[in-house]
Structures are given as structure tokens and as C-alpha cells.
Amino acid sequence: MSVLEKLSIVIPTYDRHDFVRRQIGYWANSDVTVHIMDGSPVPMSQEYLEDLTPNIKYHHSNDDFFSRMQSATELIDTQYVAMLGDDDLFVKSGLKRCVEHLDIKTEVFGVVGRSIYFFHQRGVVFGEPKHPEATNYERDIRGGIARLYNLYHPGKIGAIAYGVFRADQWKPAIRATYAKKYSSGYVYDTFLRTLLTYSGEIEVVEAVTWLCSGENPPIQNQSSFNRSIDLIEWFDEPKFKDEVIDFKERLASKVSEIHPEEGGVILSAIDFVVGTLEERYRVKATRRVSFREKLPRLIKTITPAPVKQIAKNLLPRSITKRLDWQGIRFLDCVNLMEQRGVSVDREEMATISQMIKEFHEESFA
């Protein structure tokens, strides 16, 4: 059995069939089992489904995201599982490193590899390291309660949702997270992150694994996700008071199911997690932005795209970063991460870069 035969990937999608086709081509005939959970109003045409290889399972349903994720937990029959956005990509060599890490360190529940944010612009694929500060918990932080109290440590592990996890513990966390709908679509990440963090040790693997796409805006309000109500409004509006109470009580209850013996201290830990989240968003919402901070955004807005492209190539990175022109060529970003000690497969990354470029030339010509 190959290492990647132990892994299933769940890809929820909604009305982005071009990107589903890219996933099908990318994962065709690989050792990974891929479950595409499509909630689009109309399923993919049979013409494209003929390209499916035995390892790719396409499931179309008019059910909402919540129901489709519940269904996905019933489909997984491998030892390990990961979730992926329909326009994002996983790097197969990075996934292999993650599975090998879990095979060796049986006490670890999940692993998160290094990630790159990428986007395509005028025939060029650009990249930027994402969550470069992510680090493991300090060695003296042991147990679920301690991890929750340090959930927002300075080097917190980013993109936990896109890690590789042991399926038997991942499934109940997913079922609990998407068992009930709330008025703000921003609360689910906290619910899932809390459950995954409490469930077991999650470690960082020094290999490029997740490629986060900047090709599309996030899905806003389709498939039962409501992102028109932000977290501060959700916390403050009297009409959501019962929801906020229910959210905390249900989260505490689901955490208690993992280790019932810690029930006495779980509620205070959940209060700390939710309170810290609220505080962080309040600081962010009320912080006054200085003119010095506003100026780069203004320059970015009024500068013509061709000028930006020239500036990216000519100006020092210290300046372009201040102007939020942070993208460097994707393969240069890969080289940068390798120089920092992150494991990469250069040939594989070159293939992925070319695939992204060709995808945009063909789909959006």
C-alpha cells in the first residue's frame, strides 16, 4: 500500500465547475481518494464526468453545505482525511510527508504543512508564503485544556482546517461543527478549530502542502452561509443573544464529549476562547488607521495595473511590500521557502505552476 492510499480528501464545491474540472485533472489516477461534494444547482455535465478515474468520487446534491459535509463523514473509509477548497490545491509530496509524520508519531492527531497563497495575473502565477509564523505549541503546553488556553499564541498554527487528520477523530468534529446553523457564517471556523485543537496534538510539518487560491472571492451567502453579518454584529445585536449563548453551550458540550473527565474546567476554557476571539475582532474593528497606513492602500487603488507590474519587478521588496504588492513569481516563492528549510519538490511545483497558467489561458481567454 502506498502512503497516499491512506488518505481521503473532501472537496466541497458550489457552482464552480471549471475549478472542479481542474481538481479532476490534478487528482486523476493518483493514490488519494477524492470526494467532490457538489451542491451546485445543476450537476456537472456527463462529458466532464467521463474524465473521472476510480479514485475520484463525484457526489452531487442540492442539499446545503452542512448536509453535504455530514454526508462526507459517512463516505470516508481511510485512516487519514483532509478538506480542501475547490479552487485551492494540495501538493502531493507535502501530503506524503504529512501522512508519514502521522504514521511515525502515533500520538499526534493532525499535521499542518507550510502553505503558499497564489494568484494568476496577466499570464503570470504569483505567490506569497502564507502563515510563515506558524509553529508548534511549546513543549510545556500539554493536554486539550492547555492548548485551548493557548489557542491564540503568537505563532498559532494557521489553516488548521486544511491539515491532515486521523479520520476517526476528524469525523465527529466535522459533524458537530456543521450540525446547526447560525446567522453569521464566520463562527464555524472557531467551532471547528476549537474541536480539532482540543482533540489532540497538531504539529507543523516543514513541507509545502497547501496552496491557497486568490483566484476567486470567497463564497458569500450561497449554500446557507451568511457572511453579511460579521462577528461583532453577531455578538452585539440583541436578536442574536440566544444564538451566542447556544454556540458557547453547544461547543462546550461537544468538547466535553471528547474527554468527559475534564468537564469541570471546559466551560471556562470555552469562555476564554470565545472571549479572546471577540476581543481580537473588537480591537480590529475600532482601531484607528493612521494616514501612514492608509497611504499604501490609496496608492494601490489609484495605480494602473501595468505600472504595478513594472514596480513589482523593479522596486525593492521592502517598498512593494509596504504598498501591498507582495506577490513574487510563484516559483521564486517556492525557492524562497526552500531556502528557509521547507521541503519542496521543485519539479512538482513547476508542474503545478504551469497547470494554473494553462487553466487560466483556457478557461478565461
Could you tell me if 36 and 58 are in contact, meaning their C-beta atoms sit under 8 angstroms apart? yes
| 326 or 209, greater pLDDT | 209
Asked if residue 331 lies in contact with residue 350, where contact means CB atoms within 8 angstroms, the answer is yes
State how far the Cα of 304 lies from the Cα of 307, in Å rounded to an integer: 5
Secondary structure element (H or E) that encloses residue 265, with its range: helix 263-286
Supply the DSSP symbol for 225.
-
Q: Average of pLDDT values for 338-352?
A: 97
Write down the pLDDT at residue 362.
85
What is the C-alpha separation between 66 and 64, in angstroms, rounded? 5
Q: Which of 65, 78, 110, 111 is nearest to 7 (CA)?
A: 78
Task: Decide if pLDDT at 326 tops 80.
Answer: no
Each residue of 270-325: pLDDT tens digit? 999 999 999 988 888 776 545 555 555 545 555 555 555 555 555 455 545 544 45
State pTM to two decimals. 0.88
pLDDT tens track for 2-15:
999 999 999 999 99
